[in-house]
Homo-oligomer: A and B are copies of this chain.
Amino acid sequence: MHERETIESAEVLAIGTEMLLGELVDTNTAWISRRLAALGVGIYRHTTVGDNLGRIAAALQEAASRADLVITTGGLGPTSDDLTNEALARATGRRMVEYAEAREHVERKFREFGRKPSPSNYKQALFPEGTTLIPNPLGTAMGALLESDGTLFATLPGVPQEMRGMFEETLVPLIRERSEGAIVSRTLWFVGLGESALAERVQDLLDAENPTVAPLAGQGKVRLRITARAATPEEAEGQIEPVAREILSRLGRYYFGEDEETLESVVGRLLTEKGRTLALAESCTGGLLAKRLTDIPGSSRYFKEGLVTYSNEAKERLLGVPRELLVRYGAVSEEVARAMAEGVRRLAGSDYGLSVTGIAGPEGGTPEKPVGLVWVGLADAGGTRAEKLNLTAWSRSREAIRERSASGAFDLLRRRLEGKI
């Protein structure tokens, strides 16, 4: 690469007929976009096209007319449907040539898997002339870096793990080197208040130019992203710090973590730090609480066991919830949430017992106990507490109610572990 233009803007192009037909939801584009935004690169458009040479080439040219950097994912495999590098050659008026390094890479990868490449696999050694290869330690598909008319093209595979590694190893250093100054972002996560209530409390900060503060919402959690632009990363960090402090002075009681943290990862970290253990008793979430907790590698350190007691009979028999409570108050009640938490704590011999009982719908609601009524309970050595979550308004899907119920339960435990309640 001889031209060395600054990279200020980028577009992402996802390639694959399965995505176009909706058979596969593309998560690569969102991932790349988050990384680009964190690096301070502006993103103005995403495009998806199918496995068609002419349409890929046209989309590449259009993107190049608008952006400094065009990143593609998909279409680097060995089959006749994999056309990305050939389309890049057409879009930039180059011919395809074989790269010995890529040919050796294909052969080496096949040896590692104990197989022999078929002739079609050598297609993955062909790239537009003038390409710089992007190493792929995990798979056979190397990527191409190609500068043409002031636009830098990068082709990455569709397999998320391979794509991510190649982006981090090769593209991130390149983007940093060709960015003017440094951009640093920090995301603060909040729970227990809505996006508009949050925005109102920091309205004055949302109008600032540098650092910028932007609210983002999703699945019952809200975020504020602080982004600073400065000559060095350290200087940008220094600009973020007082803004973060100001935000936390106003909204600290709703704050639970930053950047890649989740409620369950924060709970896991706190349990690990304190050497405490947890057991779960779930009704309406039906295993989602345990699933989210065990999404985290190493959760066996603090997670003892989880009981999905869907029926009243199971609540009684396994957790020892008194039949009288079930009859008098019903399964979805403060009393039963408390008894479930106490029961699972006793059964597991854990430090904490956390419970959820509610009506996830779409059926099963009544005027007194509508769909979206959920109780969460927490038992520990200091006693038992329960909280009511009201998820009836604006969020009526079974999935949304279950996800928010799980978040509400984890948040109750988080506040307890942090000594806030």
Which residues of A does B touch, CB under 8 Å? 14, 18-27, 29-37, 43-50, 52, 55, 59, 62, 113, 161, 216, 218, 223, 280, 282, 285-291, 293-295, 297-300, 303-311, 313-314, 318, 347-348, 361-363, 393, 396-399
Contact = CB atoms under 8 A, between A and B. Distances in A.
Pairs A-B, 6 closest by C-beta atoms: A286-B294, A287-B290, A22-B33, A306-B308, A22-B34, A287-B287
| Most chain B C-beta atoms within 10 Å of own C-beta, residue among A36, A290, A303, A362 | A290
Contact of A43 (B20, B37, B59, B288): B20
A91 B44 CA distance: 18
Contacts of A285: 291, 294
A15 B218 CA distance: 16
A305 B311 contact: yes
Contacts of A29: 22, 48
A170 to B, nearest CB: 19
Contacts of A52: 44
Contact of A308 (B48, B305, B314): B305
Contacts of A309: 305
Contact of A287 (B45, B55, B306): B306
A294 B306 contact: no
B286 A308 contact: no
Contact of A291 (B24, B50, B291, B298): B291
Given A22-B36, A46-B48, A305-B310, 12 more contacts: A20-B33, A20-B43, A22-B30, A22-B33, A47-B47, A161-B397, A286-B290, A287-B306, A290-B290, A304-B314, A305-B314, A308-B308
Nearest to A47: B47
A310 to B, nearest CB: 5
Given A22-B34, A32-B22, A307 B304 contact: no
Contact of A294 (B20, B55, B287): B287
Contact of A45 (B22, B25, B59, B288): B59
